[in-house]
């Protein structure tokens, strides 16, 4: 019974992640088409941002299956999603201020350093427990 429950949870998580990443990619790379389908206004930068946030949710769902540590999943998801968000701000001329991309990248770098510290902390606690 436990194996069946685990398989169900894993399947739903993977399907949800794939759905989020497909819709997110559609929204990011074909915003006009997605806007028409979703009956949303065709605001390219907003749709690009919505797309990368959906992709980020999908990636975090998959990461949660791989890593058991919630904080590592959240930090990794935040860093990756924020990097994609920064790229949007660097490529799109119709969204935000010129400095937004660099500000977002700076925050992403800080999150990546925090993730590295978290992973190092987890490795240390694992080796101490095993000894």
Closest CA to 51 of 110, 111, 95, 1: 95
pTM of the complete model: 0.83
**Are residues 66 and 27 in contact, defined by beta-carbon separation less than 8 angstroms?**
no
Give the model confidence (pLDDT) of 64-83 as tens digits: 998 889 999 999 999 999 99
List the domain range (segments joined by +) for residue 92. 2-130
- Count structural domains, the chain: 1
Give the model confidence (pLDDT) of 18-68 as tens digits: 999 999 999 999 999 999 999 999 999 999 999 999 999 999 999 999 888
pLDDT score of 130 more than 60:
no
Among all chains, which residue has been given the structure tokens 């904080």?
Answer: 71
- 3-state SS, 38-89, equals HCCCCCHHHHHHHHHHHHHHHHHHHHHHHCCCHHHHHHHHHHHHHHHHHHHH
Mean of per-residue pLDDT scores for the chain: 91
Confidence grade of residue 127 (pLDDT, cut at 50, 70, 90): low
**Are residues 37 and 23 in contact, defined by beta-carbon separation less than 8 angstroms?**
no
Give me the pLDDT at residue 123, please: 87
């Amino acid at each position: 019974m436990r194996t069946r429950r685990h398989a169900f949870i894993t399947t739903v998580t993977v399907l949800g992640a794939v759905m989020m990443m497909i819709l997110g990619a559609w929204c990011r790379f074909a915003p006009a088409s997605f806007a028409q389908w979703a009956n949303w206004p065709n605001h390219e930068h907003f749709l690009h941002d919505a797309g990368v946030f959906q992709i980020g949710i999908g990636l975090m769902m998959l990461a949660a299956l791989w890593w058991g540590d919630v904080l590592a999943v959240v930090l990794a998801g935040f860093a990756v999603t924020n990097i994609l968000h920064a790229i949007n701000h660097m490529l799109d001329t119709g969204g935000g201020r010129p400095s937004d991309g660099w500000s977002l990248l700076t925050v992403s770098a800080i999150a990546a350093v925090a993730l590295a510290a978290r992973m190092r902390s987890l490795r240390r606690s694992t080796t101490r427990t095993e000894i």
